[in-house]
């Protein structure tokens, strides 16, 4: 039997042949492709010619191309369309990939050639991108243990393998806990306050499960509306406890010991390389450079934001007191915040949702990409998908001249609705990177994955305003990939310093609050009526609603992340550690039954270890960047062209240099404070 993953893809634009792939194809494909990639490495090592930039650094950058594609296909499925078998394969495959990566990075002969080219780089007259590739390659090997002795190399490799297994297990436990809980309700009195559209969603969920009445789950499109609108405080508490207990129930899916094991392994890895902590190791390769700078940044924002947050919570307490609640809790926050928002701005998510039909919001974000960057999106049916709900688009360069005009920029997959096999949240990823080789500019295959409310029998998918900003956020990341224009795949698109990667996503969110732009797409799905000016201006005015609370919440996550990765030796009891580290940012009493850390997938499964601060760091960048547009016109073509250059450059230059070339100066934290708190 042929394995489609090992063949040349006979599909349009060599896209993933999802219809032909079987789960049992993955493990043998990985085994074979790892062998092929090892041969490519061995060929570089065995080459008798004098080591050069081309036959070592460039050859290495283009090696393992097929392995990368298959890895992307598999791990994207494990996030968006997983099952028990895929999760089992992931546990087998991850150690194989980690071991292969360790073998490459610790290959002394290969590193010897890299070091020779690095030491003699002046003689190669490299351009800026080539020099960046050389420097990043050399540093990558050093940071992966190339300078360690044989015994420590073996330790480093084994630590990396263990980390890959434990990180995967963490995410699988969170998914299992999310999927295992649901609340069936048969008495409509228990659902008082919940809008009809959400009730219909709960009915559909019950119907899918073969149950009577209504079903609420911990998937965010189900959970969040319940917490926002349900008048039944007891049920809000029950749902919040279920959500807050994920990975914290002393059962087979408990993540407490896994956290300790993960941070201990990371610390050991960092110390093997001579770093004080894993945070020091990570931040050496970030814009922030050091834990001290991150600490100062987070605490400066904390001091400035906390008075605003406390004032906001005081307003919510007053509302709750009027309802006879003296002890407002975290599970009351969304409910009373929505009440206050309605009181202040007369805005209600359910009243706004009919104006934000998913298809129209997508058209708007596509239209914005056309206005700013000359991109055109054409839906196609001949690209294979991993699930029937996925839609596929050709992204073309409509602007430009000559060969560029009408040329393919990317393939885009969009996957918008929650499923049992899909993890929570929203993300952008890729199935294939952009690069230039043999005279061809090979274009990327980009994917945007979200968890929005599904359409019902008589209603299309309607988004809350927060979901509108989520779509713009992920599409900002997608544009970073779509516009990529670099030679080497490992410097392409989102392959930038981690605290720079959120700039494009958070930047694009700003447009959601601009009245001029909102009017172009905020239209009632039944009547076509444009959202009234009064509501549009209230959306714009409400941009900073609960900004103090949200800032402290993000700062709490960032401070906790840095604490885990700076002082793992202090972690004994997870609940106690979390409570101590987040004390300054907590605005509500802590519940002894819940903890956030055990479902903090960003840092224990994803790539945000010692990097969660980057969301706030990037907010400084995006506030400063959008201020530049606002001063000169939010669709200004000259500034858009400069911003397009920043996006297309990927990781070919130092991010601060890219930013200064775009803006003319370094970003100012005052831009964020001015936007958030008018100070």
CA distance 555 to 564: 14
In the chain, how long is the greatest CA-to-CA distance? 82
CA distance 507 to 514: 13
CA distance 75 to 93: 10
- Contacts of residue 395, Cβ cutoff 8 Å, sequence gap at least 6: 375, 376, 377, 408, 409, 410, 411, 412, 482
Look at the block and give the residue holding tokens 């002394």. 108
CA 678 to chain centre: 28
Look at the block and give the residue holding tokens 């999927």. 179
Catalytic residue among 474, 509, 581, 619: 474
CA distance 22 to 385: 13
The DSSP result for 245-273, as a single string, is TTT-SSSTT--HHHHHHHHHHHHHHHHHT
Using the CB atoms, write b or e for 228-257: b if 16+ within 10 Å.
bbbebeebbeebbebbbbbbbbeeebbbbe
Closest CA relative to residue 465, chosen from 516, 404, 403, 521: 521
CA distance 487 to 407: 18
Closest CA relative to residue 587, chosen from 243, 241, 310: 310
427 membership: H or E segment, kind and range? strand 427-432
Tokens representing 577 are 């550690």
The torsion angles phi and psi of 19, rounded to 5 degrees, stand at -65, -25
Evaluate whether 379 touches 395 at the Cβ level (below 8 Å): no
The torsion angles phi and psi of 103, rounded to 5 degrees, stand at -60, -40
268 is annotated as an active-site residue: no
Catalytic residues: 474
């Amino acid at each position: 039997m042929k394995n489609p993953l090992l063949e040349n893809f006979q599909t349009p634009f060599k896209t993933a042949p999802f219809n032909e792939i079987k789960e049992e194809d993955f493990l043998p494909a990985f085994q074979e492709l790892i062998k092929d990639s090892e041969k490519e490495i061995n060929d570089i090592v065995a080459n008798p010619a004098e080591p050069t930039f081309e036959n070592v650094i460039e050859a290495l950058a283009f090696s393992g191309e097929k392995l990368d594609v298959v890895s992307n296909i598999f791990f994207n499925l494990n996030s968006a369309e997983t099952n028990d078998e895929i999760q089992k394969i992931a546990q087998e495959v991850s150690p194989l990939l980690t071991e292969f990566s360790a073998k490459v990075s610790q290959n002394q002969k290969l590193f010897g050639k890299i070091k020779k080219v690095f030491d003699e780089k002046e003689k190669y007259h490299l351009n800026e991108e080539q020099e960046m590739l050389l420097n990043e390659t050399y540093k990558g090997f050093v940071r992966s243990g190339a300078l360690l002795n044989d015994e420590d190399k073996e330790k480093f490799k084994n630590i990396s393998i263990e980390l890959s297994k434990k990180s995967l297990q963490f995410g699988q436990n969170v998914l299992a806990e999310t999927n295992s809980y649901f609340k069936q309700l048969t008495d409509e009195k228990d659902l008082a306050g919940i809008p009809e559209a959400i009730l219909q969603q709960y009915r559909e969920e019950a119907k899918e499960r073969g149950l009577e009445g209504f079903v609420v789950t911990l998937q965010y499109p189900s959970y969040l509306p319940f917490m926002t609108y349900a008048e039944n405080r007891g049920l809000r508490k029950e749902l919040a406890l279920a959500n807050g207990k994920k990975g914290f129930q002393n059962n087979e899916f408990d993540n407490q010991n896994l956290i300790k094991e993960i941070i201990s392994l990371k610390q050991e890895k960092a110390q093997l390389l001579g770093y004080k902590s894993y945070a020091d190791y990570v931040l050496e390769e970030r814009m922030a450079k050091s834990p001290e700078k991150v600490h100062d940044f987070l605490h400066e924002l904390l001091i400035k934001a906390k008075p605003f947050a406390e004032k906001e919570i005081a307003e919510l307490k007053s509302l709750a007191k009027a309802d006879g609640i003296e002890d407002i809790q975290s599970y009351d926050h969304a409910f009373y915040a929505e009440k206050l928002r309605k009181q202040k701005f007369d805005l209600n998510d359910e009243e706004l949702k009919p104006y934000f039909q998913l298809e129209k919001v997508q058209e708007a974000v596509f239209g914005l990409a056309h206005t700013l960057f000359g991109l055109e999106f054409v839906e196609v049916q001949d690209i294979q998908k991993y699930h029937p709900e996925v839609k596929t688009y050709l992204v073309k360069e409509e602007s430009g001249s000559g060969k560029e005009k009408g040329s393919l920029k990317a393939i885009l997959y969009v996957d918008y609705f929650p499923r049992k096999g899909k993890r929570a949240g929203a993300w952008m990823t890729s199935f294939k990177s952009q690069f230039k080789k043999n005279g061809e500019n090979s274009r990327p295959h980009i994917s945007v994955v979200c968890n929005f409310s599904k359409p019902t029998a008589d209603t299309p998918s309607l988004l809350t305003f927060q979901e509108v900003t989520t779509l713009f956020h992920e599409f900002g990341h997608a544009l970073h990939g779509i516009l990529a224009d670099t030679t080497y795949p490992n410097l392409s698109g989102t392959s930038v310093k981690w605290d720079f990667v959120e700039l494009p996503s958070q930047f694009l969110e700003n447009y959601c609050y601009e009245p001029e732009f909102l009017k172009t797409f905020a239209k009632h799905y039944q009547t076509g009526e444009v959202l009234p000016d009064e509501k549009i201006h209230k959306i714009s005015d409400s941009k900073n609603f609960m900004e103090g609370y949200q800032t402290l919440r993000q700062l709490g996550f960032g401070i906790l992340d840095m604490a885990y990765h700076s002082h793992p030796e202090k972690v004994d009891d997870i609940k106690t550690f979390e409570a101590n580290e987040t004390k300054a940012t907590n605005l509500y009493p802590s519940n002894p039954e819940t903890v956030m850390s055990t479902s903090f997938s960003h840092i224990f499964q994803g790539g945000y270890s010692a990097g969660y601060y980057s969301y706030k760091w990037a907010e400084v960048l995006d506030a400063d960047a959008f201020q530049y547009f606002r001063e000169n016109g939010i669709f200004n073509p000259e500034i858009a062209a400069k911003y397009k250059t920043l996006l297309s450059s990927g990781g070919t230059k130092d991010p601060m240099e890219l930013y200064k070339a775009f803006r003319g100066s370094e970003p100012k934290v005052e831009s964020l404070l001015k936007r958030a708190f008018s100070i």
